[in-house]
Amino acid sequence: MDGRVCVVTGATAGIGKETALALAKMGATVVIVARDAAKSERTAAEIVRASAGAKVDVVLADFASLAAVRGAAGEIARRYPAVHVLVNNAGVAKKARTLSEDGFELTFAVNHLAPFLLTRELLPQLRAGAPSRIVNVASAAEAHGAIDFEDLQSVQNYKGFRVYGKTKLMNVLFTYELAERLAGTGVTANCLHPGAVATDMLRQLPWLLYAMISPFLLTPEQGAATQLFLASSPQVEGVSGGYYVKCKAARSSPRSYDVGARKRLWQVSEALLDNQFEVHGA
């Protein structure tokens, strides 16, 4: 990974942090994208201490703000004309319906709209860095999600796990559509289920369920293995449009192969973003 620029979102904790650390140890220049300045600097310092000579950069962005995401993409592009790996790892899970800074349902905004926007804005840099890779962290929870295009904001009957699953299904659909659109460019797109990992996100589950499954959870280092594999392994060089579990290609849910749904999701997402920036004159 020497000489390769790797952007990792949500890299100050959990599997994102482990991914950033591993990529730095391989010699990559790692760009941490996170919202907390102090935590980001501490993470960068930890990586440098753990790997002498590690090259780590920090770009701040709160994924609950689309303007912040676009600003971060612009800053990355300014610093790095070519990007070789983008790991869309940041995500949230909320028990109760909450709104983002822009007025979108928060899980939808952070888990789908933000990585959709960041990826779109960094495509010129990814093309310049080809062969390059986009890695989207989804979840097996996508099998429990269903997209109602008439209620993308989950106004009706909000259920935290169901909404989380819906956004993870969006990650998979986005990946498959992205892979098709980028065919022949040298930029690949794959997604993955990292496994059930002991991170703060899982603590959003009911406490009894969390207590029952906690003995069986993966460590963040174990959970990072598949996204690290997709970001760096020569075994998947040039491979695109896949869903991976335990570093192996797998089948995602039947609804994730709905071509009409993935194209509609792309169009709706583009329209929401364009309208957001048009309204705010940006």
Q: Which of 115, 105, 89 is nearest to 148 (CA)?
A: 105
Sorted by sequence, the CB contacts under 8 Å of residue 225 that are 6+ apart come out as: 194, 246, 247
CA distance 169 to 187: 22
Please give the single-letter amino acid code of residue 114: A
Cis peptide preceding 115, ω within 30 of 0 = no
- For the chain, the residue count is 282
* Beta strand segments in 45-142, E: 55-60, 85-88, 132-137
Catalytic center residues: 164
Q: Which of 91, 108, 69, 109 is nearest to 199 (CA)?
A: 91
Q: Which of 137, 135, 88, 140 is nearest to 114 (CA)?
A: 88
The structure tokens listed for 54 are: 């590690």
CA distance 235 to 205: 35
Q: What is the largest CA-CA distance in the chain?
A: 52
